[in-house]
Structure 1
Amino acid sequence: MSESLTNLVSRLEGSARQGEFSRLRRGLEKEGLRVDPEGRIAQSLHPRSLGSKLTHPHITTDYSEALLEYITPVTCRAVDAMAFLGDLHRFSYRYLGDELIWPASMPARLDGNDSIPIADYGVSNVGTMKRVYRQGLDVRYGRIMQSIAGVHYNVSLPDDLWTLLRDLEGVEDTPLNDYRSQRYFGLIRNFRRHSWLLLYLFGASPAIDRSFLPDGNIPDKLEPHGEETLVSRYATSLRMSDLGYQNKVQEQLKICFNSLSNYVNTLRHAISTPWPAYEALGVNANGDWHQLNANILQIENEYYSDIRPKRVARHDETPSQALEARGVEYIEVRCLDLNPLLTLGVDETQIHFIDTFVMWCLLSESPWIPDAECDTLDDNRQLVVERGRDPELRLNHAGNARSVADWGGEILDEMRGVAELLDALEEGTPHADAVAAMAPRLDDPALTPSGQLLARLQENGEEFSDAILSIAREQAEQLRHEPIDPGRERLFEELIETSHQQQTQIEGADRVAFADFLNDYFERARESRVTAGAGQ
């Protein structure tokens, strides 16, 4: 452990024993495609009996009508988040008939672009905007890229802990919002430097069905396995490769998260700057909307990144305006694959590890990232995504070539001290245990989820889609027969009709045409909301 980190951890031990580190707040967003009994993406509408996907706080859809998204409440305990997520699955299976929830990040067998139905959120202006945004993603990138699923992990620290860190740093005169935002951006920079470790440890997408590449152009990094499967021998996460969520137009934005103002201004520039190729696609042809606008980004959500600073926005704010006005509230980790070998795609051990990793990123020194280092970070990330289990792979660490096992082992060694802070008031040592559980994966790449999944395909001679379909059936059988917490069951039942009523009220309250609504939205989106104490 570096001397500065060792000293800081030592100074925090007393506060940890008083419970300062036991109140991290976390929430999960987990996606999963609905598929038919044969493993093809479902063409059915989102079940009405699951509530309105526009207004339901816990069950919605992402890009596609078939892409379920589950959202847990914010909780201080990993076990509570996982219990809620599990009950969302169990409840849904009551209303899915013979459909299944696809447990892998890379999609089931597809039948071209049009086999992926775009989600429909009703006739309100808000619902129409959500649909047109998705149509814009279709014309820009195609729907196939949008059929990929993953887990997003949201985490925040309590205000008391920020106050403690500010006092230890000796900058008590800095407004708390400013200090919190600055430190969150330091966390994000360190995350960017080391997110390759999460991709290695938790990446679970080394294979795809051939239908994911309908044009038949197979990249050199992929090789055939059976008749319908393509694999990448050493890949960890094809979802995070150039086959997945990538946008070469966005690469020019060069966001390295050095400050809140830089981040916000870069996004604001992107949502207000036309892009010739998108202009050529057209926006609105006599009321037939192809996209929200022809700018680099239609809205801020279109920006793809491994991690984002977040703040819950008010009804009249964009995400960036909320950040400007009141600073960073939490961070969203976005680089996590679904692990099809886990019933819910994620487990408590992974949550405890990510908590420890995020806190290590926060407490470690984090200088600004110059452009040259930004490029190096992107290169390291890409190398691990495509070749992370290759024993010959070397990453660039401050100009030195290092193996994943060597550098990763050093990070885990430093994380152990942070895990002790998080475990101070826990029953047992779940964070330290989670760090210890990951160490063997560094020594043996076959123990990683990507290694395990690829081994199953190779040992059994299975096609990717057949193997995942078999897993989906096993998980569905398990979840259908497990009990639901009675309190959560009552909540989910109540939210069915309540959410539909809320959608009806929203639709009835509209007073302006969609074009006017959209013009007003983007006019407000261009406004700065900088206020004192917003963490510039």
Structure 2
Amino acid sequence: MFSRIGQLIFNHGVVAKTSNFTMGLEIEMQRIDETGNLSSEPYPASIGDEKTNPWITNDYLETMSEVVTPPAHHALDAMHYLYGINNALRSALAPGELLWPLSMPPKLPKDKSTLQFAKMGPAKEAYLKEWTKRHGYSEGTPCGAHINLSINPEVIDLVLEHFPTDFKDRVAVQNYLYAVVAQGFLRYRWLITYLFGASPLAEKNYFEPGQEPKQALRSIRQSSHGFGTKFSGRFTNVQDYVDAIEKGVKQGILISDYEFHGAVRFKGNKNLKELPKTGVQYLELRMLDLDPSSSVGIRTDTLRFIRLLASYFIMNPGLRANEVDRALETANQMNEVVSTEEPNTICHYQSKALAFLRSLDRFANQLQLGPEYQEILSDLTDRVENPLTTPSAKLLNYAQDGSLENYALRRAKHYQTAALESIHQFDGFDDDQPMSAEDLKKALFYGNWELSVEN
């Protein structure tokens, strides 16, 4: 049963536009050497200034490379951008450098104070130092796949046109729809962690002695052992979101509003206080571990599933305002349970997961979204029924003495070799010059390929 907005979308035949979310990707990976240590090489000079390059930058550590794609209207286009820019980064690496394919970092030095912060200017570096005082070096080192998701403007216009008494203006519609989608993703974050969690083990020196988990986990990164701030925020509406973060800063829980690194973030105006007035422009989803079965850390089917979820959340009844805080608090607790389960075990919420996937299947059929979505949902249902098919459980097959280093190095070398072979098919980049717009076009054109999973 659709919500009022969902029925409006269905009746006016704009389902395709509703499903057509614009997507941008941000993928973090650590640069390493061939022995599995963090690289000692500087940011690659041939791709320009890390403070100004819009496509390839750094995050937290100087070795933590972040690839950022332009917005794309289709999952395949987003992946083509990602492969192209990832290739550009790989082509610029120093001889012997590789990209670590796992979310949890490679082995860290015993003296973590030797790690270099990203060179992003004095203000950002001062922030990173203060953040590290509060949280320690390790918590800043996990990498992930972030998805930036924006709603088709025609959907916003349609809702405003037909429900003018419900919303005073276009910004009100934007903020409402983004809040509904954000609530949906947070409510089912635990399921995303189960389906795509891929950080079961941590390498040497990530944990202090005696603090490491006693078993492999479904996702260290998505658990309380993972990244940074445990400030959860509020998502009843955009104003509550802003007020909660500003309160956190005032109380000293957060260094600044920038420090809020929740699983979902509202994005738009850089001045957070103005966001409710100017409107949310997109959501940043931060709940995916890197997928080591792909050279770029994420797969097309994953993007399609995320897009399906977003469509479902817009068109189906959501939470009432007075239910949101409690429901999302429960969802956070569920995510902690799921993320800390042993990867080979049945999920504690298996029946809930299967019921929700059946609802998604009915939704996809009703909207006639095509066989590719049925195949995705069938595969994910199998993951729920058989935990051995989940990414974390598969990774454990390659663990040696509690480490995935040998597997990760093998994958890293394979991906680097394949990328360079692809790039060398054309007269590509000038090693002595920063990456130009023309270079990027070449990289994107030659980025139309995908590597298969290791059996």
- Same fold, TM-score > 0.5, yes or no: yes
CA offsets, 1:9-68, max 9 Å, x none? 565345446842353211000000000110101122111112111111100001110000
Q: Is 1:222 the equivalent of 2:204?
A: no
Q: Quickly say closer, same or farther: Cα 1:465–1:391, change in 2 above 3 A.
A: closer
Q: Does 1:408 align with 2:353?
A: yes
Alignment of 1:298-337 (within 5 A): 298-311=255-268, 313=269, 317-318=270-271, 320-337=272-289
CA-CA distance at 1:204 after TM superposition: 0.3
What CA distance in whole angstroms lies between the structure 1 residues aligned with 2:438 and 2:226? Answer: 33
Work out the percentage of aligned pairs sharing the same amino acid.
23
For residue 435 of structure 1, report the CA deviation from its aligned partner: 2.4
Identify which of 353, 372, 377 aligns with 2:331: 377
TM-score (norm 1): 0.74
Contact 1:185/1:260 (<8 A) preserved = yes
Q: 1:187, 1:361 within 8 Å by CA — same for their partners in 2?
A: yes
Aligned pair partner of 2:154 in 144, 148, 160: 160
Residue 525 of structure 1: aligned partner: none
User: What is the CA–CA distance in structure 1 between the aligned matches of 2:429 and 2:158, rounded to whole Å?
Assistant: 39
Residues 259-298 of structure 1 aligned to structure 2 (within 5 Å) = 259-273=237-251, 295-298=252-255
Task: Kindly provide the CA deviation profile for residues 202-239 of structure 1, in whole angstroms up to 9, marking residues without a partner as x.
Answer: 000011113212x31234x424xxxxxxxx1xx22101
**Given the superposition, is the C-alpha separation of residues 392 and 466 from structure 1 closer, same or farther in structure 2, using an over 3 Å criterion?**
closer
Give CA deviations for 1:502-532 in whole Å, capped at 9, x if unaligned.
xxxxxxxxxxxxxxxxxxxxxxxxxxxxxxx
Q: CA deviation at 1:451?
A: 1.1
1:100 corresponds to: 98
The amino acid that maps onto 2:84 is: D
RMSD: 2.9
What is the correspondence of 1:123-162 to structure 2 with a 5 Å cutoff? 127-162=121-156
Count of residues in Structure 1 that have an aligned counterpart in Structure 2: 434
Quickly say closer, same or farther: Cα 1:242–1:173, change in 2 above 3 A.
closer
Residue equivalent to 1:87:
84
Distance 1:366-1:484 versus aligned 2 partners, 3 A rule: farther
Once residues 338 and 149 of structure 1 are traced to their aligned partners in structure 2, the CA distance between those partners, rounded to angstroms, is 7
In the alignment, the residues of structure 2 paired with residue 103 and residue 129 of structure 1 have an alpha-carbon distance, to the nearest angstrom, of 30
SS in 2 for 1:52: coil
User: Which residue of structure 1 aligns with residue 379 of structure 2?
Assistant: 437
| Deviation sequence 1:291-316 (CA, Å, 0-9, x none) | xxxx33222221121111111x3xxx
Contact 1:186 1:367 in 2 (8 A): no
> Of 34, 43, 47, which aligns to 2:44?
47
User: Is contact 1:9–1:417 with CA below 8 Å preserved after alignment?
Assistant: no
CA distance in 2, matches of 1:359, 1:469: 38
CA contact 1:422–1:431 (8 Å) conserved in 2: no
Structure 1 residue 172: Cα displacement? 6.0
Which position in structure 1 is the counterpart of 2:452?
none
TM-score, normalization by structure 2: 0.87
Q: 2:320 aligns with which of 364, 367, 373?
A: 367
Aligned to 1:291: none
Amino acid at match of 1:105: S
Secondary structure of 2:422's match? coil
Unaligned ranges ≥5, structure 2:
441-455
One-letter amino acid matched to 1:409: L
Structure 2 partner of 1:465: 405
Residues 171-182 of structure 1 aligned to structure 2 (within 5 Å): 171=165, 174-182=168-176
**Which stretch of structure 1 is more off in the superposition, 379-388 or 27-36?**
379-388
Tell me, what secondary structure is at the counterpart of 1:436?
A: helix
Contact persistence 1:27–1:71 (CA under 8 A): yes
| Partner secondary structure for residue 151 of structure 1 | strand
1:118 counterpart letter in structure 2: F
Q: Which residue of 1 aligns with 2:364?
A: 419
1:387 partnered with 2:341: yes
Q: Which has the larger radius of gyration?
A: 1
